[in-house]
Amino acid sequence: NTSPSAMSENSAFSPKTTPRPQYPPVTSILGHAFWLYFRDAFIGTVVALVLAPYYEQLRSTLDVSDQLFYTLTVIMAHSGTYFIFYGGIFVFDDMLGWMNTYKFHQKDHEIGDASLFSKLHMEALINHCITTPVSAYGLYSVARYFGTPLASDPLPEWHNMALVFCGAHLFNDLDSSSLSCEGPL
């Protein structure tokens, strides 16, 4: 018996799609992947090179240990982006209604109340002001063990930085579907 109900009772059931979906050619998929990696490596390298003088000036201005400077830069990268986007752009966007046409409709019970936002802000405060600094300071030796250079070391050559950005992109791809051919380029 090969009826769908009989097949679904089988422990080795594997649904078949008929007709099979039309997949894009492999050259299209690989070309899109190459473009994403190239774009991220290019943007990351350019941003790193543009920000390098400001970083070096900050490093020479602050007379602190390498471990403390590492901790401060982790805090700036982690908390800075959080507060710029969540505490800045997204809050103002919500207040001013700039992107209301793109928001999902929410039912009343799906909208958080004041106590939920209070809890959210308290957890963010603990994370960004206590957990992140303590973790960054404590994990400095682990980062050094795995090859993080000293803060006073010069930047790598541009092509090595581009490879590092490609490696970071690959790491992020391991559990995402960003290589799909849908979406904007």
Task: Convert the pLDDT of each residue in 127-144 to its tens digit.
Answer: 888 999 999 999 999 999
pTM of the model as a whole: 0.63
The span from the CA of 20 to the CA of 98, in Å, is 42
Q: Are 145 and 32 in contact (CB under 8 A)?
A: no
Question: Quick one: pLDDT at residue 184?
Answer: 47
Helices (H), 4-90: 4-9, 26-61, 66-84
The pLDDT tens digits for 58-84 are 888 988 999 999 999 899 888 888 887
- Name the residue among 53, 31, 66, 50 with its Cα closest to residue 140: 66
Written as six digits, the tokens of 85 are 């986007």
Give the chain's end-to-end CA distance (angstroms, integer): 47
The span from the CA of 156 to the CA of 61, in Å, is 22
- Name the residue among 161, 171, 125, 174 with its Cα closest to residue 49: 161
Residues of the chain with pLDDT under 70: 1-17, 175-185
Residues 6+ apart with CB under 8 A from 76: none
